[in-house]
Every structure is written in C-alpha cells, then in structure tokens.
Structure 1
Amino acid sequence: MSGGFSQDWEPIVIRKKAPTSAAKKDEKVVNAARRAGAEIESIKKSNAGSNKAASSSTSLNTRKLDEETEIVAHERVPSELKKAIMQGRMDKKLTQSQLAQLINEKPQIIQEYESGKAIPNQQIIGKLERALGVKLRGKK
C-alpha cells in the first residue's frame, strides 16, 4: 500500500487582520494618557458587533411590558379533567407510567395532568381519551 501519499507537516498560521493605522494611533493615545495618569472612560456600545440596527419597536415593546399591570398566567388543567383522567386510569388498572407508555409520552406528563400543573395540550388529551376510552373534552 505504499503509494504516492505524503502528508504536508508545515504549520499554517491563521491571524486576525492587522489593526489599521487609526486603531494603532488610538491605542497609543489611550496608553499615553494612562501613563500620564489621566482618567480614561470607556463606553460599551450595546449593539456593537451585532447585525441588528437599534430600532424603536424594541423600546416600545419593553415600555408596554413595564406598564403592564395585569398578571398573566398559563391556563392549567381543570379539576374535572384531572379527576376524569385519574378515574379512567384507575378503571383500567393502569399506573401513571403504564398509561404514559400507552400514549408514547413521559410519565411526568401524566403526573402533571393528574396534579393539575400541566398546560392543556389537545393532542395529549386526545391520546388519553383513546387510551382510556373516556371522553375528556367537550362540555365544560
């Protein structure tokens, strides 16, 4: 298998672009001022290095959020749904993990639904209805 294969072991060095003369001049001025004991103030630009232009819509959105006084919370599982899921699971003599396996979800999802901490998802509720043979959606 000795062919004409050889490796080039010469190192390749990749460097950043050399600083421009204006940047060097600014750096020299700042260093000279530091040596002289002058107070130097540096300013951080908030959009430096980003692709976004500063837009007024961002400030409008943050102002709206600041002025918002209403407490917003996600909808949680109603107690009737919690009880219906628990009752259907008990009737089928299934554990939470067995039911989760039947509907291809994590056991934690069933636990959250039965404790009322979950945010209702119609797909999961549909899977639960089919697996348990119980109607969970409809009249409230």
Structure 2
Amino acid sequence: MSEWDTVTKIGSKVTGGGSQRETVVKGKGALNAAQRSGAIVGTEKKFATSNAANKGGVEGQRLTKVDRSDDIVAPQKVSGELGAAIRNRRSKDGPYKMTQAQLAQKVNAPANDIKTLESGEAIKNQALLNKVCRVLKISPKTGLPLDDK
C-alpha cells in the first residue's frame, strides 16, 4: 500500500478516536456542572473579540491603566443673577414683555427650560442661553441690557 492509498479525515464528522470533543461553556452554572460531573475543565480568559483583534493597538489598551477619580464634579448651572435678569427683562413693560411660553416659542425650546433657566436651577446650556439673550437683547455673561447703552 502506498502513501496515496491512505485517507486522512479532517473535521467534526470524523468517526473514531475515543476522546470527547472540546466544548465551550458560557456561564458560571455550566462550568460548575462540568466540574461536578468530573469532566476535565480548563479555563482561559478571552481578551480580544474578532473585531477588536483586527484593530491595531489593542494590546496597549489592555495595558493602559484608567485614571479613576473619586471626585464627582457637579455640572455647571446658570447663575441666579443671570436667571433674575432674564426674568426681569421678560416681565418688565416694553418691547420685551412676554410670557415664558412666548419666549420659549421664540427660541424654539420647551417652556419648562425657560422656567428652570430663570430659577437658576438649569444646567448650563450655552446654545439656549445665547438664544434667550439674543431675543431679550441682554448680555449672556452679565445679564445687563445691550440696547440701553
């Protein structure tokens, strides 16, 4: 018999060979069940997925320590003085007298945003603040009227 007469089968449908096929379990329960049954168990930590393995620099990401800070920084809020200036300018008689709903409609924002802006409890949204100050013609930094100069 020559070497051309022998057949080598490769793949999962190969019959014979008395060893069990290697399986992957995804979960703590399945791992514990395999250990209880007496099966040979080997665990490996998988670091990279197929997509991440194709990208360069994955190794450096794993080795880099993330600087974690325990400080929780509160978001910057609109000052009470600026909120009061907006409220005073809007409620005074003259060309800028309007309700919160009317001002909200002019700046294309919900009326609730104008309410929180005037109360000084709003998280600083510079785009909304600039729109409101442009409509009321006041300074977005100081709240002083721009047309009374």
Normalised-by-shorter TM-score class: 0.5 to 0.7
Instruction: Name the SS of the counterpart of 2:108 in structure 1.
Output: coil
- Name 1:71's counterpart in structure 2: 72
Structure 2: how far apart are the matches of 1:108 and 1:43?
54
Q: Which 5+ residue runs of structure 2 have no aligned equivalent?
A: 1-9, 24-33, 145-149
1:21 matches 2:21: no
Structure 2: how far apart are the matches of 1:58 and 1:87?
55
Identity %: 29
Q: Which 5+ residue runs of structure 1 have no aligned equivalent?
A: 1-19
RMSD over aligned CA atoms reads 3.6
Question: Equivalences for 1:29-108 in 2 at 5 Å?
Answer: 29-30=21-22, 37-41=38-42, 43=44, 45-51=46-52, 52=55, 54-57=58-61, 60=64, 62=66, 64-65=67-68, 68-91=69-92, 92-108=96-112
- Name 1:126's counterpart in structure 2: 130
Structure 2 length-normalised TM: 0.54
- Name 1:13's counterpart in structure 2: none
Structure 2: how far apart are the matches of 1:86 and 1:112?
11
Sort the Cα spacing of 1:105 and 1:55 in 2 relative to 1 into closer, same or farther, 3 A: farther
Q: Deviations over 1:111-132 (max 9, x none)?
A: 3312323332333222212322
Amino acid at match of 2:120: G
Amino acid at match of 1:117: E
The answer as to whether partners of 1:84 and 1:136 remain within 8 angstroms in 2 is no
**Which is higher, the Rg of structure 1 or of structure 2?**
2
Q: Following TM superposition, by how much is the alpha carbon of 1:94 offset from its aligned partner in structure 2, in angstroms?
A: 2.5
Structure 1: how far apart are the matches of 2:97 and 2:42?
71
The answer as to whether partners of 1:77 and 1:118 remain within 8 angstroms in 2 is yes
The answer as to whether partners of 2:90 and 2:99 remain within 8 angstroms in 1 is yes
Amino acid at match of 2:22: V
Q: Deviations over 1:58-105 (max 9, x none)?
A: 65352x11xx24332221111111111121222244322221101122
The number of residues matched between the two structures is 113
Structure 1 length-normalised TM: 0.57
Instruction: Name whichever structure is richer in helix by fraction.
Output: 1
